[in-house]
Every structure is written in structure tokens, then in C-alpha cells.
Amino acid sequence: MKIAQVAPLFESVPPAQYGGTERVVANLTNELVRLGHEVTLFASADSSTRGKLVPMCPRALRLDTGCRDQLAWHVLMTECVAAQADRFDLIHFHIGHFHFPLVRRLDVPHVTTLHGRLDLPELEPLYNEFSDMPVISISDAQRQPLPMANWIATIPHGLPETMFQFQPEPEGYLAFLGRISLEKRVDRAIAIATALGWPLKIAAKIDPADVGYFEQEVRPLLDNPLVEFVGEIDDQAKGSFLGRARALLFPIDWPEPFGLVMIEALACGTPVVAFRAGSVEEVVEHGRTGFIVDTDDEAVAATRRVTTIDRRTCRQSFEQHFTARRMVERHVSVYSQVINAKAASVQVAI
């Protein structure tokens, strides 16, 4: 198949450090190429891919402090994609709903993966209008606020099988990895570790918008001999950080659409203790690959029992459900389905 992947321009594909969407697009593109498909990737020029890169802006916009109008680059990208649309069998968008009015007027089969949270009131009128756009969710839970959308598949994220090594023998610490923000609840992770008297390592990115929250709410909690704050880490460091942990704490307080870090931990063999929200029940198998909890007390009790989880089972769960290969097989099947549906509708129209 000739496939176009259209990535957001905020991070490179893959991102240098933190960044979920662009990382998934990178894995998807590389794995499609490995399977023999011809993939064109529309992304920032500092991306690196096995596909054919069409550079849409000089560098990832998050790093381009001189750029005031990030929308301008995305407008230019959608035009560029539309202008060469008939070169592709299918176009796969990862840029939210920005392109909907345009692609509705193109003849080429397309599909859009929605990577973000969808429980915003302004999305309801939007998807009432665009209930024909074929969309892919990254968890079933993510769909809930928008039942009127044209959901054609749920495809969980996947990672290259060799990206993280299985670590059979962990050290004694707990790990937290993510953005520092109200909804990720690093404060809860600290409370759990403190209740157990176990060390906690925190690897986290702090967005400019969250600096106030970090300074006021989080920094005072770091003055704790059990807690080590290691800052933002890259993929290299991540494998060792997650793999050596006794468990990953995922104490979220928001409808997480997927939660890539959970499968990164599982790939290392590290069990996950997660609060029930968003996609969690679709990723963690309670009692097999970690524990799903509803309260702080349950979290402490579950974490204490986490050594009863077999780390090989965690790795096997990753290999079975969450590899890039598995993710790509699912995509290829959806692509065929969309292309055939389009051909059938043209047939009817003729």
C-alpha cells in the first residue's frame, strides 16, 4: 500500500524526549515500511524515519521559540497533503480534527487517529457534524464522550519488541514517569511510597504551563529522603529507569486516553499499580500484570503485594498485545477496510 502518515509538528518524529503522539507515528511508520509498504511521512524536518520524509517545517515547533503562529505550519501541511492526495491509497491523520472540512472534499480514503482526551464540551457539536469521518480510538474508554463519531477501530499503542529489554531482577524502588501536572498526581505517588517506606524515583517533564503547580504543590514534597527527582529522561535512560523498578506507579486522576508508559513498563517486565480511569482497565490485567485500585489505601496495599506479580507475565502481556508489529497488523487491516468501503461507495455512486 501507498500510505501517507500526517504527524503533528510540535515534536519531531520520534520526539527527542517526552511526547506520545509523535512516538507512536514513528513506530507505526517504521513498522509499515518493514512490512513492505510505501510510507510517506509528513512531519518536522528534524524527524528521522524509514519512510520517505516530507519535511513540513524546519524543526519541532516546541523547540522553535521564534515561531509565533504554529497553526500556519499546519495549514501549509494540510494543503501539501491535499495537493498530492491522489498519490496515496490512504492518508492517515494524527492532527486532531483540524483537517476534517478539507478531507471531506477529497476523494482519497483517509482515517484519523484521535490521540487526545475527548471529554471537552466543544467536541460534541463538532462530531455531530463530522459523524461521517472514520476515526480510530486508542482505547475504548476514550470514545465514551463521543458516541456519535464514526469509530472504525480501537488500536492500542505498540512499541518495537526490542526497544526495552526484559529485566528479571529489579532493584527496590518504585518509579513514576510522566508530565508533572495536576492530572498525573505525582503527589499520590509520593504518598504511597512514604506510607510503605519504599524509595521512589520520579522522572518527569515540566511544561511551562505547569511550573506554578510544580513550585507550589510538588517541590515541597520532594524534600523527603525516600524521593529522588531525576528530571526528563530520554529513551536510552528510560529502559533502565523502568526496568530496575519494583513497580510503576500510575496514580492518574483524569481520563487517560492510553498511557504509553504503562506498556513501556510492561515491556521491561515491571508491573503497574494504576488508579482506575480512562484506558487503565484495557492495559493492566488486575492481579496478573499489576493492580488496579480506586483509593490511596488500596494503592498502598496493592503496591505492598506487587512482588507477587510474575515479571515474565508482564513481558508476555506486552509481547501479546502491545508490540509495534501487533499495532501495525491492526492498522493494515483497518486500512484495507477503509479502502474497500470507499471503493464500494464509488461503485454505488456510478
CB of 53 to a copy of itself, least distance (A): 17
- Binder of a copy of itself out of 104, 219, 305, 312 (CB under 8 A): 104
Q: Find cell 496478573 and name the residue.
A: 288
CB of 81 to a copy of itself, least distance (A): 9
CB of 34 to a copy of itself, least distance (A): 32
- Binder of a copy of itself out of 4, 123, 180, 324 (CB under 8 A): 123
- Binder of a copy of itself out of 1, 16, 35, 126 (CB under 8 A): 126
Can residue 122 be called a binding residue for a copy of itself (CB under 8 A)?
A: yes
CA angle 342, 345, 104 (to 5 degrees): 60
Smaller CB separation from a copy of itself, 98 or 151: 98
CB of 100 to a copy of itself, least distance (A): 6
CB of 58 to a copy of itself, least distance (A): 9
Smaller CB separation from a copy of itself, 3 or 146: 146
Cα–Cα distance for residue pair 320/233, rounded to 1 Å: 27
Residues from 37 through 96 that contact a copy of itself (CB under 8 A): 57, 66-73, 75-76, 78-80, 82, 96
Can residue 209 be called a binding residue for a copy of itself (CB under 8 A)?
A: no
Query: What is the CB neighbour count within 10 angstroms for residue 286?
Result: 14
Can residue 226 be called a binding residue for a copy of itself (CB under 8 A)?
A: no
Each residue 130-159 as x (binds a copy of itself by CB under 8 A) or -, in order, gives x-----------------------------
The residues binding a copy of itself (CB under 8 A) are 57, 66-73, 75-76, 78-80, 82, 96-98, 100-102, 104-105, 120-123, 125-126, 129-130
